[in-house]
Amino acid sequence: MTRLDILDLAPIPEGGTPAEALRNTLDLARRAEDWGYHRYWVAEHHFAHVASAAPAVLIAEILAATNRIRVGSAAVLIGFTTAPAVADAFGVIAALHPGRVDIGLGRTGQRLRTPTPGAPAPAPAIVAGYETLYHPGAEPPGFSEQVGDVLALLDGAYEAGGQVLRSPVAEAAAGSPVWIFGSSAGESARLAGALGLPFVANYHVSPATTVEAAGAYREAFRPSASLAAPYVVVSADVVVADSAAEARRLAAGFPAWVHSIRFGGGAAPYPRSSDELSEEQRRAVADRTETQFVGDPGTVAEGLAALVERTAADEVVVTSVTHDHAARLRSHELLAKEWGLL
């Protein structure tokens, strides 16, 4: 049976708080380990009602609260940070919890700074042999370069300013797999293949392009020291309940939440319903709502199996978001039983 994993957004529902959402995440992670899930990944989101804004911090807490399950990021938005910061953060985590850490990297998040008109450009600063350009108009490194820097830091081969700079902390994560996340047949899929890294095709983000993304990754794949053949994980949104009617009731808030993320800046907490949406607004998110797997355990498992077959995925990672934490727990437990984990 294909391995089954969990992706957790640590959602903050209407009436909830970040503290409650984080406690719910730790609760779900402990139960997921008992239910037999293979990995527990947390997403990075900003300016939204999800509490997983600092994945490295949350990953460390989840690892401390569990014993066996692999824990990782899905994914660190590297455009918001730097390669040394990512490598060192996961090095600390891996040193404390060896053999259980997954490092997921995603392309979203790049932000350019606009120079102030007429302002002089600050001089470059050299810090411990690492050249840092403090320039308001400087363009940050691209995704491919940042991924390469993370890999080099883990391997002890990072160079800057003509010098090899080694971080013993970062190198503590040398055995941790690095995953690339992507939603299309673009840069992320091709980069993962070219570097011989495992790839996560984000069906739950862009259902229409998942098959093409997996295909582009496999076409670009070159064996590496860590991976001899392509390895694909596909993601999916699910809501599972004892009956189809109950599952549809629990998923009623999903259209409004997706619409908020796409068109409202992600500012809305997860609602109980989507009654306020117009038909036009519902059509705007139909690609997501119509490809969400909602139903009784057998129906959802059958749909996931078909997705695995279409993408030839090696693993499937599911996210289940409901307003009530107890319903989310039940969704994952029912799916684990139907999938044969329990």
pLDDT tens for residues 246-286? 999 999 999 999 999 888 766 689 999 999 999 999 999 99
Quote the pLDDT of residue 139: 67
Pairing of strands 178-182, 163-164: unpaired
Report whether 317 contacts 7 (CB < 8 A): yes
Quote the pLDDT of residue 212: 96
Report whether 86 contacts 105 (CB < 8 A): yes
Q: Token pair of 242, please?
A: 């004892």
Can you give the pTM of this predicted structure? 0.91
Pick out the chain residues at pLDDT < 70: 109-139, 265-267
Pure H helices in the chain: 18-35, 55-65, 83-96, 143-155, 168-171, 187-195, 210-220, 244-250, 254-263, 279-284, 286-289, 297-311, 325-339
Quote the pLDDT of residue 232: 98
Quote the pLDDT of residue 300: 98
Quote the pLDDT of residue 262: 86
Quote the pLDDT of residue 318: 98
Pairing of strands 76-77, 101-106: parallel
Quote the pLDDT of residue 137: 54
Closest by alpha carbon to 20, among 56, 49, 55? Answer: 49
Quote the pLDDT of residue 109: 54
Q: How far is CA 191 from CA 180, 206, 228, 292, in A?
A: 8, 19, 16, 28
Quote the pLDDT of residue 325: 97
Quote the pLDDT of residue 266: 61
Quote the pLDDT of residue 120: 47
Quote the pLDDT of residue 135: 45
- Count of alpha carbons within 13 Å of 97, Cβ hemisphere only? 21
